Amino acid sequence: MPRFVRFIFLLQRFQWLTCKYVDAGFMIVFVVFGVPLAYGWLLYKHGSAMNPKLPGYTLPMIVSKRDADSSIVHLRFLWEAYRPKYYAFEVFELIRKLAQTSLIVFIANGTATQIIIQLFISFVAISVLSGLQPYLRNDDNVLAALAQWIIFAVAFISLVVK
């Protein structure tokens, strides 16, 4: 009997395992690792178009040149809000969001350690956002830092209450 047919019979025998755990495990691995890697690779591949080196040009001139480039229009949702030199900041944001919402659940669930790790992630995000100012609009930089401060404050209060 060919290997492929034996594999199909094996999958049919363990159908409950395949549907419930293998598919969910694949999707977890794909979302947690695959999406940030794919976005990072796409941004790296087109980096020179997203951050054009134009000596003597001002930021608005560089942004308008970047916006007019038709070779990167399909990736606009990844870089449009950021300054040209921080075109790949969306990858950091994606990893931060995953860490704060999904991965934190698997770390010492329900303990003070989990809250302390959440505080650490928020503090790192606040530091990066405040230091880099990656967004084109200053209002977006302030809002992103404020959101992280709110998350930090909620986590700190929950640590004090615990």
The pLDDT tens digits for 78-137 are 999 999 999 999 999 999 999 999 888 888 888 999 999 999 999 999 999 999 999 999
- Band (14; pLDDT cuts 50, 70, 90): low
3-state secondary structure 75-129: HHHHHCCECHHHCCHHHHHHHHHHHHHCHHHHCCCCCHHHHHHHHHHHHHHHHHH
Here the tokens at position 92 are: 């950091």
Q: How many CB atoms lie within 10 A of CB 90?
A: 21
Instruction: Band the pLDDT of 20: cuts 50, 70, 90.
Output: low
Q: How far apart are CA 128 and CA 43, in angstroms?
A: 19
* Mean pLDDT of the region 35-63: 93
* Type of residue numbered 93: E
- By percentage, how much of the chain surpasses pLDDT 90? 68
* Count of CB atoms situated within 10 Å of the CB of 132: 15
CA geometry: angle 91, 80, 133, nearest 5 deg: 65
State how far the alpha carbon of 69 is from the alpha carbons of 39, 73, 77, 116, 134, in Å: 19, 7, 14, 44, 21
pLDDT band at 13, cuts 50/70/90? low
Q: Is 117 within 8 Å of 103 (Cβ atoms)? A: no
Question: pTM score, two decimals?
Answer: 0.80
- Residue 19: the pLDDT is 55
